[in-house]
Amino acid sequence: MGRVGVLLLNLGGPEQPDDVRPFLFNLFADPEIIRLPFPWLQRPLAWLISSSRAKQSQANYQQIGGGSPLRRITEEQADALKQVLADKGTEANIYIGMRYWYPFTEEAVAQIKRDGVEKLVVLPLYPQFSISTSGSSFRLLERLWLEDPALQRIVYTAIPSWYERPGYSEAMADLIAQELDKLENPDQAHIFFSAHGVPVSYVEEAGDPYQREIEHCTELIMQSLNRPNPHTLAYQSRVGPVEWLQPYTEDAIEQLAQQGVKDLVVVPISFVSEHIETLQEIDIEYREIAEEAGIHGFHRVPALNTHPRFIADMADMVTEALEAPCQLFSDVVQPDKKVKIYPQERSAWGLTPVAEVWNGRLAMVGFLALLLELVSGRGPLHFVGIL
Annotated binding site for Fe(2+): 196, 277
Q: Dihedral (C-alpha) 71, 75, 80, 81: value to the nearest 10 degrees?
A: 90
**Rounded to the nearest 5 degrees, what angle is found at the Cα of 349, between the Cα atoms of 346 and 352?**
65
| Binding positions | 196, 277
Three-state DSSP at 124 gives: strand
Task: Please choose, from the candidates 64, 67, 77, the residue with its C-alpha nearest in 3D space to the C-alpha of residue 18.
Answer: 67
* Angstrom distances, CA of residue 135 to CA of 20, 244, 295, 358: 23, 18, 37, 31
Nearest to 374 by CA among 94, 50, 71: 50
Residues 76, 83 contacting (CB under 8 angstroms): no
Cβ atoms of residues 55 and 49 within 8 Å: no
- 255, 289 in Cβ contact below 8 A? no
The contacts of residue 155 (CB under 8 Å, 6+ apart) are: 2, 118, 119, 120, 326
The rounded distance, in Å, linking the Cα atoms of 29 and 27 is 6
